[in-house]
Amino acid sequence: MAEFLQIHEPGETPMPHADDNVAVGIDLGTTNSLIAIAHEGAPEILRGTDGRGMVPSVVAYLDDKVVVGADARPVLLDEPERVVASIKRLMGRGVEDLKTLGGKLPYDVDEAASEGGMVRLSIAGRSLTPVEISADILRALKNRAEEALDRNVEKAVITVPAYFDDAARAATKDAAKLAGLETLRLVNEPTAAALAYGLDKDVEGLYAVFDFGGGTFDISILRMEMGVFQVLATGGDAQLGGDDLDHAVAEHFLAERTETIGGDGELTITEVKNALMTARLAKECLTDQDQGKWMLGMDGEPTEHSLDRTHFNDLIAPIVERTIKLSRDVLLEADIMPDEVKGVVLVGGSTRVPLVREHVAGLFGQEPLADINPDEVVALGAALQAEALTAGSNALLLDVTPLSLGIETMGGMVEKVIHRNTPIPVAKAQEFTTYKDGQTAMAIHALQGEREMVDQNRSLARFELRGIPAMVAGAARIRVMFSVDADGLLTVSASEDSTGLEAQVEVKPSYGLSDEDMSRMLRESMEHGRSDMMERLLAEARVEGTRMLLAFESALEVDGELLIDDEKEVISQRISELRTAMTGDDRDAINTAVDVLNKATEGFASRRMDKDIRKALTGSSVDDIDGEMVNPEA
């Protein structure tokens, strides 16, 4: 611990406790997730007891607990319907988006519950959002870090694909909050990778980061100058990744299988999941080997499938070529020739595929850098940034908006307000006017994307500016302001300039979570809790109880004379009940006792409020979180 204390210059850190200062870097990946910490510029992956750094982003929902990572994989074989993988692909998505993804998805979508909002999946009798499932992964990572470091971990830099849209970014932040983590910053994955390569140290010039992960592809062009790290341009496809390679191979295997055993090719979700798993094994094997044989054993009728490197390359070529095309587009957009790039950084497990490396080398005319493990590089960079944000740093990172932001205008067209690759934070205003005489309201529809028409872009939010004074058409001056913060998150506000009317609207993305959603999820995640979660909750309940007792005692000391009638006896009875409950292991009993004490002291508290003392002793977080679970009769 002492070493963590020493890294700050006196007066440099405003933090009273070193503990508050521990910040980790998290790579919340489609296929695997990692957590890392940096100390004096040296990042390190936090490993589990088995020594493995990667936590498969797989969550199994068993009856009594939630299992994350490698331990969830075996469940995939026996009870695949209880397991969710690649949930990152659904972050910030609505049901409508899923339909456009096409093909058979290895998810069981809860259509009814998803209507008009965030996707919900039916898993083992539960209806869960991608945010909740991601939160389970983040909780597992947090636990891993707390065990490895033997201290609380509450702050994190979390990486997201550069190409993640606003809704997906907001969903990631929500998941962190749900898991009890404060997001210091969302950092784009390619940027984090470049940080890990120390591109912020001695080198100057242009670098490309080719990030081909499990579910997303990003290509970024970065410029390093005078210790400032500028993202010049970024592009990619948030729905293109190693999973697609698996899909290509799985489809091939399944077609072969249908040919061998006949049938109509109709598949169950279990069969699709099995085929995908086998395909992934084949892909990994063909990275080092020239050929191999795999079995698909469904419904008791196994089929054998052999595949060699050449045939594999043919299957995946269209996907790899797409990544190269996207890379070319970004270079062109940044007005950079491939040979101006000084180095190419490879990120993501899919860059292990030989065909990918060949194509990248071909495009840039040089062998890409791969001396840091491409699976770990993002988490390592995130850890460095987490340290830079908490302990200070000389380097500076200037990032850009990955996608254009615009507003719907007449005829279903989109008018761009902030263009892609604009440095963030940024605020831009656009003026609009009324099109009808006497028009008093204006609908504002914020969109994200590069296309011209509304329905080709992603809808972020809709709201209405009301109370515009009736004027002739075209007389009102409505300024719509788009602000994007350093995390890449959007806020929209509107005002009518001639009258000063203003509507500040915090835009919640269409597929985001409302505050009620968030508190319900917090509650549910606790109700469903697994054993370590229960322990944590018990500890939290005790802390709450202690806090309550302390708060009440100090209130009594100041305002004891406000107690009336037999209140004093009743309350001291309740206090001793709470004390007794806190010595036991029953969290509900503690919460109930807290609640009962709260009730008993309501009159006293309101009298204190009347005395204009704002330190209310009720209203603690236990009320908010567990209010519905407490039986007031107890």
Partner 1 sequence: MSNNDNHKGEGQGHVHAHPDSPCWSCRGSVDQRAPFCHACGIIQPARRGDEFQRLGMKADFDLDPKDLEKRYFAFQRTFHPDRFATKSSREKQLSLQHATDLNEAYDRLKAPLSRAEALLETKGAGVDDHARTESDPELLMEAMESREALADAETADEVAKLEALTRADIELSEEALSLAFSADDLEGATGIVTRLKYLLKLLQEIRRKRLVLNN
Tokens of 184: 């210091």
Query: By rule CB under 8 A, what count of residues binds partner 1?
Result: 31
In the bound state with partner 1, the residue whose beta carbon lies nearer, of 70 and 389, is 389
Active site residue 633: no
From candidates 15, 255, 539, 543, binder to partner 1 by CB under 8 A: 15
CB 407 within 8 A of CB 472: no
Q: How many CB atoms lie within 10 A of CB 521?
A: 20
Among residues 165, 200, 211, 243, which one is catalytic? 211
Contacting partner 1 within 309-338 (CB under 8 A): 325, 328-329, 332
Residue with tokens 């806190």: 582
Pairing of strands 32-39, 23-28: antiparallel
Q: Whole-angstrom Cα distance, residue 279 to residue 617? A: 58
Does position 423 interact with partner 1 (CB under 8 A)? The reply is yes
Helix (H, G, I), strand (E, B) or coil at 427: strand
Using the rule CB under 8 A, give the single segment among 8-16, 56-64, 532-540, 588-596 that binds partner 1.
Answer: 8-16
In the complex, the smallest distance separating the C-beta of residue 48 from partner 1, rounded to whole angstroms, is: 28
Binders of partner 1 among residues 166 to 195 (CB under 8 A) are 184-185
Smallest gap, in angstroms, from Cβ of residue 333 to partner 1? 8
By CB under 8 A, which span of 13-21, 204-212, 294-302, 558-566 interacts with partner 1? 13-21
Question: Is 351 in contact with 210 (CB distance < 8 Å)?
Answer: yes
The single residue among 141, 369, 379, 388 that binds partner 1, judged by CB under 8 A, is 388
Cα(453)–Cα(557) distance, rounded to whole angstroms?
Answer: 66
Dihedral Cα 584, 586, 587, 590, nearest 10 deg: -60
CB of 615 to partner 1, least distance (A): 20
Residue 385 host element (H or E): helix 377-391
Rg (CA), the chain: 27
Residue 189 is among the residues annotated as catalytic for this protein? yes
Nearer to partner 1 among residue 168 and residue 424 (C-beta): 424
Nearer to partner 1, 255 or 337 (CB): 337
With contacts defined by CB under 8 A, name the span among 224-232, 260-268, 286-294, 406-414 that binds partner 1: 224-232
Q: What is d(CA 258, CA 262) in angstroms, rounded to the nearest whole number?
A: 5
Catalytic status, residue 71: no
Residue 424 found at the interface with partner 1 (CB under 8 A): yes
Q: Is 167 helix (H, G, I), strand (E, B) or coil?
A: helix
Give the whole-angstrom CA distance, residue 287 versus residue 160: 26
Q: Does the annotation count 517 as an active-site position? A: no
Site membership for partner 1, residue 457 (CB under 8 A): no
Cβ pair 76, 277 in contact under 8 A: yes
CB of 324 to partner 1, least distance (A): 12
How far, CA to CA in Å, does 321 sit from each of 250, 324, 346, 458? Answer: 19, 5, 16, 25
The nearer residue to partner 1, 303 or 422, going by C-beta atoms, is: 422
Residue ranges in contact with partner 1 by CB under 8 A: 13-15, 21, 184-185, 225-228, 325, 328-329, 332, 388-390, 392-393, 396-398, 422-427, 483, 485-486
Q: Which residues form the catalytic set?
A: 27, 88, 189, 211
